[in-house]
Amino acid sequence: MTASLLVQSAVIGLSIGSIYILMALGLTLMFGMMHIINFAHGAVYMLGAYVIYYVFFQSGAPYFVSFVVAMVLLGVFGYLVERSIYRPVKGGIEPTLVALLALTTFLQAAGYPVFGQLDKHVPPVFEGTKNVLGVMVSVERLVIIPIAAALVVGLYLFINKTKMGAAMRAIEQDKEAAALQGVNVHVVNGLAFAIGFALAAASGALMAPIFKLDPMMGEQPLLKAFIIIILGGLGSIPGAIVGGLMLGLIDSIVATALGAEPAFLLSFVFIILVLLFKPTGLFGYAQ
């Protein structure tokens, strides 16, 4: 592997890693508060990408407007899912997981009749390439990095500097105590759903101009996000960021060297081993 190829994989890895981080952050946030794994995260990513297809490409709205539309629409959808699925089962973890699984398969399967059997393509938003350390990298991929970083910083500020964020942290620490102190647990859980869904939609929206669109497109990033939050420790936000960067880099280098399927297989075996022997995550960010 030449140096320039390495730099190129590294930059691509960094931009893909940013997408994974956005996905993983929502998952880990929801896990930290409700101890559930949102299986529907990949389907929401897919929907985010399709919003870009219809609003940006088909209707001609500016890209950033479409991006915000995707986040808001799916954020609202997330809130509704909390209201109509999570809340009625009253915090039962097992029925919630099964219901989210059903929601996932529903959204994916419904994607075929609704969006059509054929793959969709979104034309590039940012044309051209840029010279990074002597390697030409497409602007489309580069621009993902600052946008994702801005969203991560925004989430960080929200959680640490606002009242709602404080309520989220309180629920993560101790749900009963938070409720006793007057935190409206339902509303805050709904907000966590909304944020998680909006971040997944943002990831899909960022990737729409780069990959082809099909209803199953969310599977791969969902599984990657699983790997990340398991590596980083379920419920840990810093863990998700470190894990995402690591996986993005390793992934793009390993996949270049070995091929996609074996790389995928290895990552699953790795997940199982981590879960079995170090369920708090590799970096020890245990709760």
Partner 1 sequence: MPSKTPGQAPGKAIIAIVIAVLVLLALLVPPLGGDYYVHLLALVFTNVILAASLRPSLTCGQLNIGHSGFMSIGAYTSALLAKHFGLPFELSLLSGAIVAALVGVVIGYPALRLRGVYFAMVTVAFVEVIRLIAQIWVPLTRGMSGLSGVPKPNLLGITLTTKASQYYLALGLMLLILAILYKLERSRLGLIWRSIGMADPLAQSLGVNIAAHKLLAFMIGCFFAGVAGAFYAHFIRFLFPPEFGFLMATNILVYNYVGGRGHFVGAIVGAMFLSLLSEPFRGSAYETIFFSIAMLLTILFLPGGLITLPGKLAGLRSWRAASAPSPSPAG
User: Where does this chain bind partner 1 (CB under 8 A)?
Assistant: 31, 35-37, 84-85, 88-89, 93-95, 97-99, 101-106, 108-113, 223, 226, 230, 234, 261-262, 264-265, 268-269, 271-272, 275-277, 279
By beta-carbon proximity to partner 1, the closer residue of 34 and 205 is 34
Considering the complex, what minimum distance in angstroms separates the CB of residue 109 from partner 1? 4
For residues 214 and 45, is the Cβ–Cβ distance under 8 A?
no
Angle, vertex CA 115, rays to CA 21 and CA 39, nearest 5:
35
What sign for the dihedral angle of Cα 279, 281, 283, 286? negative
Helices (H), 52-210: 63-81, 93-115, 139-142, 144-161, 163-173, 175-180, 185-207
Considering the complex, what minimum distance in angstroms separates the CB of residue 100 from partner 1? 10
By beta-carbon proximity to partner 1, the closer residue of 73 and 263 is 263
By beta-carbon proximity to partner 1, the closer residue of 103 and 200 is 103
Considering the complex, what minimum distance in angstroms separates the CB of residue 232 from partner 1? 14
By beta-carbon proximity to partner 1, the closer residue of 56 and 115 is 115
Considering the complex, what minimum distance in angstroms separates the CB of residue 193 from partner 1? 16
By beta-carbon proximity to partner 1, the closer residue of 180 and 276 is 276
**H-helix or E-strand spanning residue 130:** strand 129-132
Which one, of 127, 129, 44, lies nearest residue 80 by Cα?
A: 44
Which one, of 147, 115, 110, lies nearest residue 49 by Cα?
A: 115
**H-helix or E-strand spanning residue 136:** strand 135-138
By beta-carbon proximity to partner 1, the closer residue of 97 and 164 is 97
Considering the complex, what minimum distance in angstroms separates the CB of residue 249 from partner 1? 21
Which one, of 77, 73, 86, 81, lies nearest residue 33 by Cα?
A: 86
Considering the complex, what minimum distance in angstroms separates the CB of residue 79 from partner 1? 17
